[in-house]
Structure 1
């Protein structure tokens, strides 16, 4: 197990990232009816973005890997889009893209109106296998192998951070 280079994101940078996403959203006519924080990493950004934009927040858990639980919520969100509601999912980082691909594919599988669903992240990996609609900053995993530690993750132990970083080794190789 390799030890990654940690890049700690301080609270000021985190707040600036949230504000940048909110500003990007303002520049478009598309407006979400709900901000959906993706558990775990998108919950704190979702709460902050919800307060900044005054858009109600919902959440869906993906990190627990309890898919029948999250899928039930995704079905309900897909139905909301059929009723004309616009949904903005937010996560901390679009890294490999697997979370966003899973959520996007699930929403389509459950019959969502695709134009009513968008994605936002604080950090967007340019070499990810998928794209997002809003972001604050970009990285490129082809050259940038740092493991980003957001303020809410800073309470984890060093060993826990190393273990999490090594769950997908190609992000660090």
Structure 2
């Protein structure tokens, strides 16, 4: 483990998570753009995507970006890009838009595969106003310049505390 100070872990409770999911689903449902599929971005976006999928009564697909298995997510994103090019509307869901790295990667790969960007939207439970990427829907906004907490979503809270701290410390630029 790094010599960096212990991160401030902020555990998001189930009720708060559920309220955030309902907020995002309501934003999507009340808008003038309706997705054909919800796409959960693995790992953190899978649980919220399932909930949003049920709330909106829409089918769900998943992309496992977090595994970092070479080519795995890329191949699936190529297939998803073809769907968007054919007119299918896709809502990508993740837990947090922190640095914007995941969303940036997905947008670039979709563009490289000739997607129709007009058929894509992104939703998160929490978005960082300082992120290098913007999203279309979010339940809450943070400012990483002042908010250094490490957010622990309900599905992550079952992990060992040491593992959560180690993960937080793996991205020190978000904590200091």
Whether TM exceeds 0.5 here: the answer is yes
Partner residue, 1:154 = 157
Runs of 4+ in 1 over 2 A off after TM superposition: none
TM-score by length of 2: 0.96
- The alignment yields a C-alpha RMSD, in angstroms, of 0.7
Cα distance in 1 between the residues matched to 2:66 and 2:166: 14
- Deviation string 1:126-152 (CA, Å, 9 cap, x unpaired) is 011110000000101010000000000
Partner residue, 2:73 = 70
Cα distance in 2 between the residues matched to 1:27 and 1:34: 16
Residue from 119, 123, 128 that aligns with 1:116:
119
TM-score by length of 1: 0.98
Gaps of 5+ in 1: none
Cα distance in 2 between the residues matched to 1:155 and 1:11: 12
Cα distance in 1 between the residues matched to 2:70 and 2:123: 21
Paired residues in the alignment total: 173
Gaps of 5+ in 2: none
Deviation at 1:27, TM superposition (A): 2.5
Within the alignment, does 1:32 sit opposite 2:35 as a pair?
Answer: yes
Cα distance in 2 between the residues matched to 1:119 and 1:8: 24
Within the alignment, does 1:170 sit opposite 2:169 as a pair?
Answer: no
